[in-house]
Chain A
Amino acid sequence: MALTSEQTVVRGSKTAGAPQEPNTTLRQKKRFNSRTALTLLAFMAPAAIFVGIFTYYPMISGSQMAFRNWNLNDLSDTSWVGWGNFVKLFETPEFGTIVRNTIVWVVGSLVPQVVIGFALALFLKRHFKFRGAYQAFIFFPWAVSGFLIGMLFRWMFNAEFGVVNDLLMKAGIIHSPIPWLAEPGFAMTAIIIANIWYGVTFFAIMILAALQSVSDEMYEAAAIDGAGKVRTFFNITLPSIAVTLGLTILLRIIWIFNFPDIIWAMTGGGPADQTHIITTYMIKITQEGDYGQASALGLIVVFTLMLFAAFYLMAVRPRKEKR
């Protein structure tokens, strides 16, 4: 999506956009004089200044902290320590758990989000009465902040007075209350359920938009050829939206990876640091004042995600070229 629209535009202007291209370049060559250039610069300047000062400066300055001994509790010695902060992180006993939790958190949230979101989109594709109203209701989780979602679910998963235990007991599924947020395994399940609840709508809406861009003629042709519903789905629907779906998933993976709010509100990483993911752990060390280690962890996240994105795009792209 946003990531490749850039490339699409460039590629498009070379091939599909050819007829109008000479016209555009002529026009821009003629007018792309110093006055226009100045206007453009003036238009870009406010955005560049804001993002530069309040986002990029702190980020870059934060990155160099990763290689320094930078603890807010004792700033007398902020010397260069090379990879020291990284080594200290890898030696943290919980580090393995944190990495494992992060993977469980991303995969465990993402897969159900995609599957349920896809089903929802397929059901919403055909127009029905009240579809607009239905979509507006389903949209509700998006209006809520991640932190607040965490709080809502923390209350619902409360062991003693939580509604989840009450409903499960009424349904006869369990006979005694589950201490949801006090046991690491249950706690991970609970936070992932909260995140699935939050993210399904996103996928439903993205996939629905992609589905609606597939032309009806393709389906008509398939119907004429006598393809059944299942075959139509795998041979037409899925390939047609594969690229959009692939990129939506990539952006979502990055986003879930960087999304500590729900966990922070529900468990705060507890019990006994057993539900931390990398970003919640980063908040924890930031609050303890060890900016050096926190920045080191941040850099690890950035590079992991960039590597992942590169591999992922390589895996997704060839299929796009073939068509």
Chain B
Amino acid sequence: MINKETVFGRTSKIIFLGICLIVTIFPLYWIVVTSLKAPGTIYSLPLDYWPKELSFENYIGLFTKSDFGVYMLNSLLVATVAATVATLISLLSAYVLARFQFSGRGWVMAAFLLTQMIPGFIALGPLYMMMTNFNLVDSKTGLILVYIAICIPFCTIMLRGFFENVPDALEEAAMIDGCSRLSALFRVLVPVMMPGIAASFIFNFVNCWNELFLSVTLMNSDENKTIPTALAGFISSFNIDWGSMSAAAVLTVVPTLVIFAFASKFIVQGLTAGAVKG
């Protein structure tokens, strides 16, 4: 819009953006405040909008009374391995889908897209039975394998968009110089596409870090549980301990929040790359 902003327009913009910001941030603020209150004071009226005295009891309790440290390490391990492998595999499939016209390409894309449409729960029962047969129930390896599979379709679609932004000439030149297709991909294309690949990796990581229903179904021993399974445990008990719950929530959100803060620009690029072109 060429014409200058009016005072009215400017004020309404600031007010609107301000309200959106407050409403977006408030739940995070509130959960942090709750987690920092001493356990007894959470259930006292009137509500305090800042803890009368800061207490880390909820956090200490998580690590001493439950195995939250173990759950965090499990989540970190499972999400890192699954996201890395899924990104590598998707890199290969996205490359094929972006660069070659072959019959059946449309079907492959459709098959990937369909996985995004179907409610996962239809597969939950059979998956559990299959994993039992493979002896992979309650095993981190099993969970990693399943997570790789659920990350691949969207990651492929996302990476395909990035490949299409890179000219063919780049790897053609490398291949004329005697590179194999695989080394051309990793030596020439991957460095150029690093932001996109990072975004895909982060997206996978956060998805695995947050995944709930599969981990609840497949994991049951304390040594193998991931964070979401532990969080789900909070609501199955009749009385929810909101203090520990809040502390656990903060510890779950902060790592992903930090990653997103640094990478939001790339993630936005990645998610919208396919969208706007169409």
Q: Say whether, besides A44-B96, A47-B92, A132 and B272 are in contact (CB < 8 Å).
A: no
Which residue of chain B has the shortest Cβ distance to A209 in the bound complex? B272
Scan A46-66; emit 1 where CB is below 8 A from any B CB, else 0. 111011011111110111010
* A144 to B257 CA separation, bound complex (whole angstroms): 8
A247 in contact with B152 (CB, 8 Å): no
- Known A57-B130, A286-B121: A243·B278 in contact at CB below 8 Å: yes
Nearest CB of chain B from residue A237's CB, rounded to whole Å = 10
Q: Is A206 a contact of B235 with CB atoms below 8 Å?
A: no
Asked, given contacts A55-B150, A247-B275, A298-B118, whether A148 binds B3 with beta carbons under 8 Å apart, the answer is no
Cβ of B118: which chain A residues have Cβ within 8 Å of it?
A: 59, 258, 298, 301-302
- In the complex, whether A92 has a CB less than 8 A from a CB of chain B is no
Q: In the complex, how many angstroms separate the beta carbon of B192 from the nearest chain A beta carbon? A: 18
* Min CB–CB distance B196 → chain A (angstroms): 15
A155 to B37, CA, bound (A): 14
Could you say which residues of chain A place their CB within 8 Å of the CB of B268? Answer: 135, 139, 205, 209
Q: Is the CB of A291 within 8 A of B125?
A: yes
Are A148 and B249 within 8 A (Cβ)? yes
Give the residue of B13, B102, B117, B271 whose beta carbon is less than 8 angstroms from that of A302: B117
Residue of A32, A137, A140 with most partner-chain B CB within 10 A = A140
Can you show 20 pairs from A to B with CB atoms below 8 A apart? Answer: A8-B277, A40-B102, A43-B92, A44-B96, A50-B89, A55-B123, A62-B125, A116-B20, A134-B21, A136-B260, A146-B212, A152-B30, A155-B246, A160-B45, A163-B30, A258-B118, A258-B119, A286-B125, A291-B125, A302-B119
Given contacts A137-B21, A279-B121, contact A152 B249 (CB under 8 A): yes
Contact A152 B93 (CB under 8 A): no
Residue of A at shortest CB range from B235?
Answer: A265
Size of interface on B: residues with Cβ below 8 Å to A? 97
Contacting residues, chain B, for A124 (C-beta < 8 A): 17
Known: A40-B96, A139-B260. A152 touches B156 (CB 8 A): no
Q: Is B47 an interface residue (CB 8 A)?
A: yes
Q: Are B117 and A61 in contact (CB under 8 A)?
A: no
Q: Is the CB of B275 within 8 A of A2?
A: yes
Is B206's beta carbon under 8 Å from chain A? Answer: yes
Name B's interface SS.
helix
When distances are taken between beta carbons in the complex, the residues of chain B under 8 Å from A13 are: 101
Chain A residue nearest to B153 in the complex (CB): A51
Report which of A36, A148, A243 forms a contact with B252, defined as CB distance below 8 A.
Answer: A148
CB pair A5–B253 under 8 Å, yes or no, is no
Cα A268 to Cα B237 in complex, Å, equals 13
Q: Is A107 an interface residue (CB 8 A)?
A: no
What is the minimal beta-carbon distance from A278 to any residue of chain B, in angstroms? 8
Task: Give the bracket for the number of chain A residues in contact with chain B.
Answer: 35 or more
Residue pair A197, B27 in contact (C-beta under 8 Å): yes
Determine whether B16 belongs to the interface, using a CB cutoff of 8 Å to chain A: yes
Tell me whether A65 and B93 are in contact (CB under 8 A).
Answer: no
B119 — which chain A residues lie within 8 A by C-beta?
A: 258, 279, 282, 298, 301-302
Measured between C-beta atoms, what is the minimum distance from A13 to chain B in Å?
Answer: 8
In the bound complex, CA of A255 to CA of B118 (Å): 9
Beta-carbon contact of B232 and A5 below 8 Å: no
Give the interface of A toward B (CB within 8 A). Answer: 1-6, 8, 10, 13, 24, 28, 32, 36, 39-40, 43-44, 46-48, 50-51, 53-59, 61-63, 65, 70, 72, 116, 119-120, 123-124, 126, 132, 134-149, 151-156, 158, 160-161, 163, 166, 197, 200-201, 205-206, 209-210, 213, 219-220, 223, 229, 232, 243-244, 247-248, 254-255, 258, 261, 265, 268, 279, 282-283, 286, 291, 294-295, 298-299, 301-302, 305-306, 309
B115–A286 CB distance below 8 A: no
- Residue of B42, B45, B95, B210 with most partner-chain A CB within 10 A: B210
Complex Cα gap A51–B156 (Å): 12
Q: A2-B157, A291-B125 are in contact. Are A143 and B253 (CB under 8 A)?
A: yes
Chain B residues with CB under 8 Å of A219's CB are 1-2
Pick from B17, B157, B182: contact of A134, CB below 8 A: B17
In the bound assembly, the distance between CA atoms of A126 and B9 in angstroms comes to: 12
How far does the alpha carbon of A82 sit from the alpha carbon of B256 in the complex, in Å? Answer: 46
Does B126 belong to the interface (CB within 8 Å)? yes
**Interchain CB contact (< 8 A) of A140 among B42, B149, B150, B257:** B257
Contact between A294 and B125, CB atoms less than 8 A apart: yes
Could you tell me the distance between the alpha carbons of A48 and B109 in the complex, rounded to whole angstroms? 11
Which of B20, B150, B253 contacts A144 (CB under 8 A)? B253
Contact with A along B234-278 (1 / 0, CB 8 A): 110000101001100100110011011100110010011011111
